[in-house]
Amino acid sequence: MLTPGQKAPDFTLFNTDRQEVSLTDFQGKNVVILFFPMAFTSTCTAELCEMRDNISTYADLNADIVGISVDSPFTLAKFKEEQRLPFNLLSDFNKEVSQAYDTYYETFVLNLKGVSKRSAFVIDQNGLVQYAEVLESAGDVPNFTAVQETLASLN
């Protein structure tokens, strides 16, 4: 599992506009990376809408938000549009980034293979992990207060 102080694994994934987004694109900013199991499910929707509704709080903390799931870019585009999410959703369809961040269910509900675990990471301006929370239960949401406190400590 990734722990604070470690270099965050770099990645390049496609967003909902089919453009490549890399972790290195956020150099000089803090970034909150949220892995989530599946678009359109109740907890995932609530989690990402909470981020949407508090986007100004994260902007004030010099942080960008990125959501990552194993859904296709096309599914994520529809989800982003319906929920009016003002941040990138990235497709880890090949499951490589979820595995690199050790946030991966081999088998999920309904015997679905290879789904991202719900998790939150704060990566600082230098690409170092400052906060890591990987949840075993997909029904739980990250500790957003701890995420915000971590971001505040970086500014």
Least confident of 61-65, 99-103, 107-111, 146-150: 107-111
Over residues 57-86, the mean pLDDT reads 97
Residue 154 has pLDDT above 90, yes or no: yes
Fold exhibited by the domain 31-154: Glutaredoxin (3.40.30)
Per the annotation, the verdict on 49 as an active-site residue is: no
Domains of the chain, residue spans:
31-154
Q: Give the integer Cα–Cα distance in Å for 76 and 4.
A: 29
Instruction: Find residue 66's DSSP bridge partners.
Output: 33, 88
pLDDT digits (tens, 9 = 90+) for 33-55: 999 999 999 999 999 999 999 99
73-83 and 42-53 helices, crossing angle to 10°: 60
At 22, the pLDDT band (50, 70, 90 cuts) reads: very high
Of 8, 21, 39, 44, which is the active-site residue? 44
- Locate 127 and state its tokens: 């690409």
Q: Spell out the residues 6+ positions from residue 45 whose beta carbon is closer than 8 angstroms to its own.
A: 83
Whole-number pLDDT of residue 149: 98
Nearest to 65 by CA among 39, 98, 32, 97: 32
pLDDT digits (tens, 9 = 90+) for 92-125: 999 999 999 999 998 887 787 889 999 999 999 9
Give residue 79's identity as a one-letter amino acid code: F
Residue 126 has pLDDT above 90, yes or no: yes
**Residue % of the chain over a pLDDT of 90:** 90
Whole-number pLDDT of residue 111: 80
pTM for the full predicted model: 0.95
Residue 77 has pLDDT above 90, yes or no: yes
Nearest to 101 by CA among 72, 126, 73, 135: 135
Whole-number pLDDT of residue 155: 81
Residue 140 has pLDDT above 80, yes or no: yes
- Locate 3 and state its tokens: 């722990």
